[in-house]
Structures are given as C-alpha cells and as structure tokens.
Amino acid sequence: MNTLRLALPVIAIAMSFPLAAQASSVWHPAPGEAGVTYHPDHFKSTKTRAQVMAEVDAARKDGTLLLLQRGAPLPVKSSQPPKTRQQVIDEMRAESPEARRARIELYPGG
C-alpha cells in the first residue's frame, strides 16, 4: 500500500511529460473531428525579420516565389550537365526491350 502511494505521483508526473512537450508546438490535440487546433502565437522563430525578407527577395529574383504562390512544384536542380536531343534519342534506341516495356508501363497512354 505504501509503495502504491509513492508510485501514483511518479506515474502522474511521467504521464504529463508528453503534454508539456506539446505545449511548445503550434499544433495541439483537440477533441472532436478536427483532432488538432492551430496556435500560431506558440511559434518561435530563430530568424530575424531582415533574414526572412532577404530570403523572400532571393526567391522573388530566382522565380521560386511565383511557383510557390501558384502551388507549383519547385524544379529539381540536376548535378549532371544537360543532354542534347541526339543523346536522348540514342539512349532510347539503345534501351533493352525490358526497359522499353517498363518505360511504356510507367506513363499512361504509352
């Protein structure tokens, strides 16, 4: 009985740790269909306003801001030099029948 009295407060404290961790998040659990609530005032940024404005200006200059505003995916930068049209045609002519079948199955409409 005496150990139970000591164990209950320890268990209660241990169960409250996850709730304390969620208090620093912008999303909090909520009852009902939503499941979560958003609290933007709990967000803590490590950047200054000047840093954020510099990032926005850079994104505006390189065109990524416009893509993000329209919900378009950002282009992936390739580490290899671009191929010429003839190189691509030569690769397609040299591909094996299995690779050709796999390529055709990958894209709808053949």
- Any domain includes 40: yes
Say yes or no to pLDDT of 12 above 80: no
- Any domain includes 97: no
Give 110's pLDDT tier (boundaries 50, 70, 90): low
- Any domain includes 96: no
Q: Which helix (H) or strand (E) holds 37?
A: strand 36-38
- Any domain includes 23: yes
Helices (H) and strands (E) counted in the chain, each on its own, are 5, 2
Say yes or no to pLDDT of 51 above 80: yes
- Any domain includes 28: yes
Q: What is the pLDDT of residue 1?
A: 54
Q: Residue 20 is encoded by which pair of tokens?
A: 């304390």
User: Which residues span the domain enclosing 7?
Assistant: 1-44
Say yes or no to pLDDT of 69 above 80: yes
Mean pLDDT, residues 63-83 taken together: 91
- Any domain includes 58: no
- Any domain includes 21: yes
Identify the DSSP state of 29.
Answer: E
Q: Is 107 left (phi over 0), alpha (psi -120 to 50) or beta?
A: beta
- What total number of domains does the chain contain? 1
- Any domain includes 74: no
